[in-house]
Structure 1
Amino acid sequence: MRFAQPGQSEHELAAHFEYLCARSGSQRPAYVPVVASGENALIIHYTKNDNLLFNDELVLVDAGCEYNGYASDITRTFPASGTFTAPQHELYAALLSVQKACVALCSAANGHSLNDLHYRSVELLRQELKQIGFELGWQTGVLERILYPHYLSHSIGVDLHESGSFDRGARLEEGMIITIEPGAFPSFITFRISLGPPGIYVPKDPAFPKHFQGLGIRIEDEVLIGEKDPVVLSSAAPKEIADVEGACQGLLGFEPF
């Protein structure tokens, strides 16, 4: 966030992220980073990373590294100028409210499954969007098909999407044993998921408020399921609006290099 400036290319920001990870001990990227400025953020798996950052646009960075065999997966969205515009602020705040509410549900005591969390995120996002002027009641499925067209979360470990056979309907429990690699890696005493998107992607369509059109926002954290409380592993990455703007403007003490 501190390094990004209007006029830079997306690939320059991607390269800088990978450099910082390598300098801190990461052996390799976990996947091709998504650095999507402006309307590129409407493309969920955008990896061209070849556009310039413009002053009035948001920048969505979905990136992670591998460290000693373990993958990470974190997404943050921030203003290239360092300050959210009014519509960006309003839409980001709505999505952040949903994301934090879903994180709060990540405990074994709640007895939820990944499917439960996803359905809850859809319900909460619908409520938040209605409060800021979206009319979705008469459009069956438009939220899931257009504005939020992906699943909430996935497991993560030695692979970006760990254990493709994991039952999304199974309850998340403390002490769940995940076999990472027999004989080489220890078992988890808690289950690690990437709780992330919800995301919101507003196309240029008259069905949606004009001042939100063209905005794409995603916020993704890694969360450990505890017995009564979640542990957000990616909590050091700013996501509150004041913290994001502070990081962009150099007010949090972060160095850009």
Structure 2
Amino acid sequence: MRKSLLTSFHHLTCVNTNCFFAHRALSIGSSAQNFQENAITRNLGQPTAYTHPFLLNKGEVTPGLTKEDYEERRSALIRIINAVSKKQKNDKEEKGNVVILFGEPIKYMSEDIPYPFHQNTNFRYLTGFLEPDSCLILDSRSVEESSTHKSTLLVQERDSHKELWHGARAGTDGAVEHTGIDHAEGMQHLSNILKKYLSENYDIWYDFQRPTNLELHMNHMRSFLTDAFKKKLKIRSINDAIHQQRHIKTNKEIVLMMEAGRITAEAFKQTIPFSSPDINEGTVQALLDCECRVRGAQMLAYPPVVAGGNRANTLHYIFNNQRIKDGELVLVDAGAEYHGYVADITRTWPVNGKFSPAQRTLYEAVLKTQRACISLCKPGNTLDQIYNAMAMLIVQELMANKIIKRKPKGHETYEVARKYCPHHVSHWLGMDVHDTQCVPRSIPLTPGMVVTVEPGIYIREDDIDVAEEYRGIGIRIEDDVAVTSDGPLVLTGACPKDVDEIELLMSNT
């Protein structure tokens, strides 16, 4: 599996991103004539093979992911929920299952100025459709021959006035052509479509606990769910089933995550040597954002942490508005989003280019711990087991380097570890930076899972339990790792993390 992933990644990137685009353009060549009368030859509001032939091949909904890939995802979800329903039912009468899933709404910074749109990842996973205020319905009963379900996408209708202000819409014809969905309707028909599922024997699968799109929920789903409850239809949460499916990545998905990791690693390599004493944290953030985007990322995957000095001990510090003093470290946690898949890297380095002896000691303790934890990312282990190993290793390093003054007693070991590293060593990674949170960290790792490995040591400047030279230092080192049958595959390995490598990189400016 590891070898096939690396081969696929080589085909994706060739030598660099420009080669990737050139390769895709050559593969299309004179394929314009392939767009016959059944193709949509206009802007649909998201990249297509017609508008972005340098990015997508014909039949792809997302770079590297075809209509057939999305159809298989929808079919696999129906198989999962059919199996759950069958296991839990005692009814003699055969029931159907209907999945109802909304896309995100547009969110506004001010009265008429929208934030950049970001699609609900569950919705995107099943459709690849990037327009707001959409709805996917999967019906396991109304099926054609050799199909597991019928899929319907409800979208905003074409509207020349609104498209003038907000950009092109796919409309029903564009939605079907681009995504390969079975059928499309205008969103105004949703309430009438839902009525069907009140008169037939269905279980309803919907994210009612945390509705994605509150306006659509209030306008369409609230009364529908009330009526369904009165008719004693079963209403089930769909989130767990989708997370169960999303949790195991295909080779195609891991290749996209490799590219997100490569882009982020290259951005770090450009940003680290740009650092200097008194640089503003916001400048570092801006440079990272720029370097990710020029390499093909659509955006940063999350608000980055750029924390100088003692601010690194605030785990979710995202103000990024202070100057970093000479002699201080800066901890940067950032990742690119590449066509729906994300990276998550943390590096810590001295803005003046040289680690002090205390900084080097603490850094190498974290790095040694991280490498040991990465080696444990193998099938059969669990993230909780790797966390336990991290806790023991951190305490051993703190004691071996005389960073803490008092040797903890046996029962105090985990308390000390939690004091100096209060977060878990890992989380799932995929389309979200904290991916598939319905999946516990206690399950055994299997090939296709992607995780972060991010130990840290955080010593506040007022901590009198450690030697003075270590106070005010926070260090975290984080990489993304795919679990394969051949062992861990580090997706972000191009990002420097050895002390000597970082100092050499900074000395070359």
TM-score normalized with structure 1 length? 0.88
Correspondence 1:45 to 2:303: no
Q: Does 1:157 align with 2:430?
A: yes
Structure 2 letter corresponding to 1:126? V
Alpha-carbon distance in 2 for matches of 1:50, 1:153: 28
SS of aligned partner of 1:239? coil
Contact kept? 1:143, 1:149, Cα under 8 Å: no
Match of 2:443 in 1: 170
Which residue type is aligned with residue 53 of structure 1? I
1:148 aligns with 2:406: no
For 1:246 and 1:45, how far apart are their aligned partners in 2?
29
Instruction: Tell me if the contact between 1:10 and 1:50 (Cα under 8 Å) persists in the aligned partners.
Output: yes
Letter in 2 for 1:39: N
Q: How many residues align?
A: 233
Please name the residue that 1:222 is paired with.
Answer: 480
Q: Which has the higher helix share?
A: 2
Residue 119 (structure 1) shift: 0.6
Answer with 222-231 or 147-156: which moved more: 222-231
* Bigger mean CA deviation after superposition, 142-151 or 164-173: 142-151
Deviation at 1:250, TM superposition (A): 2.0
SS at 2:433 equivalent: coil
- Counterpart of 1:61 (choices 321, 324, 332) is 332
> For residue 302 of structure 2, what is the aligned residue in structure 1?
31
User: 1:144–1:150: 8 Å Cα contact kept in structure 2?
Assistant: no
For the pair 1:192 / 2:450, whether they are aligned, the reply is: yes
Per-residue deviation, 1:21: 0.5
Cα RMSD of the aligned pairs, angstroms, is 1.3
1:86: Cα distance to partner? 0.3
CA contact under 8 A between 1:224 and 1:230: conserved in structure 2? yes
CA distance in 2, matches of 1:170, 1:205: 36
Q: Is the 8 A contact 1:148 1:199 kept in 2?
A: yes
CA displacement at 1:146 relative to structure 2? 2.2
**Structure 1 unaligned regions, length at least 5:** 175-189, 252-257
On the 8 A contact 2:452/2:481 being kept in 1, the answer is yes
What is the letter of the counterpart of residue 87 of structure 1? Answer: A
Deviation at 1:205, TM superposition (A): 1.6
Q: Find the counterpart in structure 2 of residue 235 from structure 1.
A: 493
Aligned partner letter, 1:77: T
CA contact (8 A) 2:391 2:418 kept: no
The answer to whether the 8 A contact 1:155-1:194 is kept is yes
Bigger Rg, which one? 2
Question: How many angstroms apart in 2 are the aligned matches of 1:136 and 1:10?
Answer: 36
SS at match of 2:443: coil
Gaps of 5+ in 2: 1-271
Aligned partner letter, 2:489: V
Given that 1:90 and 1:132 are in contact with CA atoms closer than 8 Å, whether structure 2 keeps it comes out as yes
Report if the CA contact (8 A) 1:107-1:172 is conserved: yes
Please give the residue correspondences for 1:83-162 in structure 2 after superposition, counting only pairs within 5 Å: 83-108=354-379, 111-133=380-402, 134=404, 135-138=406-409, 140=412, 141-162=414-435
Q: Say which SS state the counterpart of residue 153 (structure 1) adopts.
A: coil
User: Is this contact kept in 1: 2:392–2:417, CA < 8 A?
Assistant: no
SS state of the match for residue 217, structure 1? Answer: strand
Which one has more relative contact order, counting CA pairs under 8 Å at least 6 apart?
1
Post-superposition Cα deviations, 1:128-169, rounded to whole Å, max 9, x if no partner, equal 111011234048354244211001100111111110111211
